[in-house]
Amino acid sequence: MTGRGKVIGGLRVEVPEIPVVEEVSLPADRTALIIVDMQNDFVKPGGALRVPSAEKTIGPIRLLLERARRSGVLTIFTQDTHYMDDPEFRIWGRHVVKGTWGWRIIDELAPVEGEIVVEKTRYDGFYGTPIDDLLRVNGVENVVVVGTVANICVLHTASSAALRWYRVYMPLDGISALNDFDYYLTLRQVSFLYRGVLVERSEGIRFTGQGKWVRPGYSGGSGAGSAGV
């Protein structure tokens, strides 16, 4: 049963002060880059649930990905994945159905050999997936989280990481939302509630030392051949 209700809207909400740093240096062997749901349905024109601002994040995310590749940083792509009659379709309609164009990770960020793709069926990248185990067995303490949609899968994944006591780092230009309210809500939650570190630009995140996640044959530029989980 549902009762009669009303819609709240048209309000002006003041955003509290949110601390942002310009630069951070993270040890390559104790850091992971998690790229959340950068798939055609969310990013590209014609996508079923396109986030208009998502395309602007491709360049900054690509920069971080290239740095991670050069530094041997563990990199995990989450790939939102749905099947026939998924319960989420009642909320969002059909999207990222496995095997379709919309389900695929965008070409600009295509994983290469030595990177891990984790298919997830819910907003949270940790729910029902091996991400936590992958991070722990590889000695990861810090996670850099980027992708879309900011207040949905990005925030749920970042919060799950924080609740497992990983330190979360998030660049402002590496996430996208459907509107400004959702974008700033995400930043506020990551900073205030989960004590994550917000970085002004992806360019300000650098990896020090060398991690063990070498990409065989990688010489710059995206490609295919990821390790799927």
What's the CA gap between 183 and 150, in Å, rounded? 6
CB 108 within 8 A of CB 58: yes
Strands (E), the chain: 24-27, 31-36, 74-80, 116-120, 142-148, 167-171, 175-176, 197-199, 205-208, 227-228
Determine the 3-state secondary structure of 175 from DSSP. Answer: strand
- Would you call 56 a catalytic residue per the annotation? no
Q: Distance of CA 120 to CAs 103, 123, 130, 140, 199, Å? A: 11, 8, 10, 21, 27
**Is 86 a catalytic site residue?**
no
Check residue 68 and report its DSSP letter: H
The DSSP output letter for 82 is: B
Which is catalytic among the residues 29, 41, 44, 120? 120
Residue 37 annotated among the catalytic residues of the structure:
yes
Find the catalytic residue in 41, 44, 80, 153.
153
Reduced to 3 states (helix: H, G, I; strand: E, B; else coil), residue 85 is: coil
Catalytic residue among 37, 41, 124, 173, which? 37
Structure-token pair, residue 12 = 């002006």
Residue closest to 188 by CA, chosen among 167, 203, 204, 172: 172
**What is the per-residue DSSP string for 45-61?**
TT-TT--GGGGGGHHHH
Q: Which residues are catalytic?
A: 37, 120, 153
